[in-house]
A and B are shown apart, each in its own frame.
Chain A
Amino acid sequence: MKTELFVRLKVVDTTALTALTAIQEMGFKEVIGVKRDVYYAFESDSDISKEIVGVDVLVNANKHAARLSSDVDGVGILVTDVEDDCSSLLHTLTERLGISSISHVTRGVFWMLQFKGGVDRDFAEKIASGLLCNEHYQKYEILG
């Protein structure tokens, strides 16, 4: 069973704002909004959704809002490190925090781009490969 977790800052995300400015400076004026979540996906034997949103290693309730599904309004771009096996995080979750049913963890950054006048996947591809992802050690996936 797969459980996804999207973790977003409650306060203004300056990284997302900087990304928006850079994207527009690159000539993609049609992009009018950028949001950013830290993304996790867990493979487990049982339903861990209630437990996982309460894990403070992942979600600090004082500054983060967590959701179990994306609220993508536009195009989503998931960027992950190719060599990140998340073994230390998996160990923490299973051994220290006792969520033993988890067998695999993926983490990355989930970017959401809002376009003026509708979704433009071609532009999203160019923005992903030109700014958000360095494909020499990362990979990306366009969603939405």
Chain B
Amino acid sequence: MIAVLMFPGSNCENETKLACEAAGMKAEIVRWNDVSKLGSYSGYVLPGGWSYEDRIRAGVIASKDKVVAFLKEEAAAGKPILGICNGCQILVEAGLIPGSGKLEMAVARNENPLVSGYYCTWVHMKKTSSKKTAFSAVDEVMAIPIAHGEGRFVTKDKELLAALEENGQILFRYCDVGGEIAKAFPDNPNGSTDAIAGICNKEGNVLAMMPHPERASWMRQLPGEHAGGEEAGPGLKIFESMKRYIDEN
């Protein structure tokens, strides 16, 4: 059973639960203050939204919640944890990503020549690490939507990015439709450092990603000429990968 952790202000919990179920996992939505069954789940997903209205900055208040301290124990025990969009921001603010437990990065305000603040569009991303993780059974360039105002991975620690690269922790990067790593807007939609779209911890069981795989889990969700029917969309592979990891461990 997967816990989709809902904080005050989360708004993607239902579609995230559906994507978990479409990948063959059982899932239930768990409120942040319901600790009665925590520990009984085989994995966790922190969905998108605006936890605590993004007060102070996105994700920081939720990162101080007791349930996130519990997630650190679960991460250390090897359970898979996926943070999507606001969930990604929470994991970074909590120090679960990159994973030292300290605040090593920020998911800062977008740099975007078209609009300041919230930006919503379809982009492409691809796996850029051969590291075996709980989420990496994705080989092709993936069309996937983003929807955020604060999605730019940055760090003032110049050595951190090299370490992440060496450890294979930069799991997903924005790219163009042909798979070339994004050099600038619009392929890199938020100015993220090195076009980073998703980072995992060193052990590979925690992933923070700004794009929304649950919104690309059926082909009917894709835009334009890519649109299809009820067959699996590219985003579902993230959840299927998570299931495989749980089954194997």
Contact = CB atoms under 8 A, between A and B. Distances in A.
A92 interface: no
Contact of A25 (B55, B64, B154, B157): B64
A85 B109 CA distance: 13
Given A131-B64, A134-B60, A18 B55 contact: yes
A132 interface: yes
A26 B108 CA distance: 23
Contacts, number: 47
Given A131-B60, A136-B106, A137-B106, A19 B55 contact: yes
Contacts of B109: 81, 137
B156 A132 contact: no
A19 B56 contact: yes
Given A88-B116, A136-B106, A137-B154, A15 B56 contact: yes
B240 interface: no
In this complex, the interface size class of chain B, counting residues with CB under 8 Å from chain A, is: 20 to 34
Chief secondary structure at chain B's binding surface: loop
Contacts of A131: 56, 60, 64
A138 B116 CA distance: 17
Nearest to A129: B103
B13 interface: no
Contacts of A15: 53, 55-56
In this complex, the interface size class of chain A, counting residues with CB under 8 Å from chain B, is: 10 to 19
Interface string B22-56: 00000000000000000000000000000011011
Give the most central of A18, A22, A26: most B CB within 10 Å: A22
Interface string A60-83: 000000000000000000000100
Contacts of B108: 81, 134, 136-137
A73 B52 CA distance: 27
Interface of A: 14-15, 18-19, 22, 25-26, 81, 88, 131-132, 134-138
Interface of B: 52-53, 55-57, 60-61, 64, 93, 103-106, 108-109, 116, 154-157
4 A-B pairs with least C-beta separation: A136-B106, A137-B108, A15-B55, A134-B106
